[in-house]
Amino acid sequence: MLYKTTISKHIKSTLFFFLTLATLSVSAQKVKIDGVAVVVGKNIVLDSDIEKFKQEVELRSEGKITITDCEMLEELMQQKLLAHHAVVDSVVASDAEVSSRVERSIQYFAQQYGDIDKVVKAYGFNDLEDLKKELYTVQEENTLIEKEQQKITEKIDVTPEEVRLYFNGLKEKEELPQFPAEVEMAQIVLKAIPTNKEEERIVNKLLEIKGEIEDGSSFRMKAIINSDDPGVTSNGGEYTVTKESSFIKEFKEMAFTLDIGQVSKPFKSEFGYHIMQLNSIKGNTRVASHILMQPKVPDDELTKLKEKAESIKKEIEEGKITFEEAVARYSQDQETRNNKGKIVNPSTGESKFELTRLDPAFYARVNELKKGELTEVFYDENRSGEKMFKFIIMQDKTETHTADLVGDYEKIQQLALQKKKEETITKWSKEKIKDTYIKIGNDFRKCKFQKNWQKEINK
């Protein structure tokens, strides 16, 4: 059977993310307040919040989680209770911690929408600073909640006997989870490196454009004609920049170096070569335009690179060299080369990937591979436009299966630990509810909660 769990177990791992999105929508759209649904300590939940959060959870879970207003309210009350007692317990969320989380949120939203300005517009904020202020408030509370949870459960652990009992309990109730197929992979990458002559050509071209702009030509038009930045058609190469924004280091440094109207000399980043003009200064924000030009690699050089990759693959298949030896000798991807070619999952920091969560194009390449098999050599580009040929080996592969105590011990151990932590937090909550001010609005007084939130009604 698939996980047979309560609503709360499904939500807890993703609730902060859902609430971040929903809070942005509620705040930005300035939803009319129907009334206060509940007060927990000094924290409130509005009637309008509940519906928005509920819709966001159902939408983001693709309909796999459906919850009632009462269930959603209880989840929100639990978060507010933790946030309230984090303050009571003098838990501190440092500015560095919160700012880091805000930055990660900005990067995620920018990735999802393609451009952070689109995020600002989509959620109805005035500008990036307005969005960041709201995110800061949300992430500050999230940080406090997580730290309070850690404080409550910091001494919780599970013994091997507890793991065994937990597993046997699931087995007896026919509730053993299904673990999805997972893969471990390694790669060999050969990069197409532009010649020095081509890089000189790009720099000279940008110097020429810089001179034309200083003589009166439109920066925007030059960007539309010449820039390799894919966003140039929609924004003319103009971006709003802060020191905390997700732009690359070289881009931010240049934006805060220039005077208004000044055009920079060509400068290099991982994306290629740029020139930049500063358009305006708004407090700690800079509005700047840039032109990006990426050095080209001739088609015949790409053909030679592909042939070299194919010859390396053939050597491996014929047993003339091992995959790991080939990684050390040939691979030009520094990150995986230093790890024997192993690809690391950026979401978890581990080498295992859930097969069905891979990018569709990547999934198509590796889905049918058996352990030890190689993909064909294929062309790829990274986010900075760097061209390369690569091939991948399937180092390990487990099919979708019902949990097994021996083979899946670590996963089951984590599930048992999570259950024990949840039980500890539930016990803590029941105690804290007794001496915390809680006021539930009339519309929700008939809800049947798992905890005694309605203590003032039941007296």
pLDDT at site 21: 54
Determine the Cα–Cα distance for residues 296 and 348; give it in Å rounded to an integer. Answer: 35
pLDDT of residue 335: 87
Rounded to whole angstroms, how far apart are CA atoms 250 and 269? 6
* Same fold for the pair 7-176+405-458 and 196-293: no
Nearest CA-CA partner of 47 in 32, 31, 36, 56: 36
> How much is the pLDDT for 272?
93
Residue 262, CA distances (Å) to 236, 277, 377 in order: 17, 6, 46
* Dihedral angle sign, alpha carbons of residues 339, 341, 342, 343: positive
Architecture of domain 7-176+405-458: Orthogonal Bundle (1.10)
Q: Answer whether 0.75 is exceeded by the pTM.
A: no
The full set of domain ranges for the chain reads 7-176+405-458, 181-193+298-402, 196-293
CB 389 within 8 A of CB 379: yes
d(CA 445, CA 439): 10
pLDDT value at residue 14: 44
- Is residue 108 exposed (0-12), middle (13-18) or buried (19+ Cβ within 10 Å)? middle
Q: What is the pLDDT of residue 456?
A: 57
Exposed, middle or buried by CB within 10 Å (0-12, 13-18, 19+), for 150? exposed
**Assigned CATH class of 181-193+298-402:** alpha beta
pLDDT, residue 225, reads: 94
CB of 342 closer than 8 Å to CB of 336: yes
> CA-CA distance, 447 to 69, in Å (whole number)?
9
pLDDT averaged over 10-residue windows placed end to end, the chain, 459 residues: 36 49 51 72 89 79 80 93 96 88 80 77 82 89 95 96 97 94 96 94 97 95 92 82 83 95 95 95 90 94 96 97 97 92 88 91 93 96 88 95 94 96 95 94 91 71
Asked if 377 contacts 391 with a C-beta cutoff of 8 angstroms, the reply is yes
Q: Is 196-293 CATH 3.10.50? A: yes
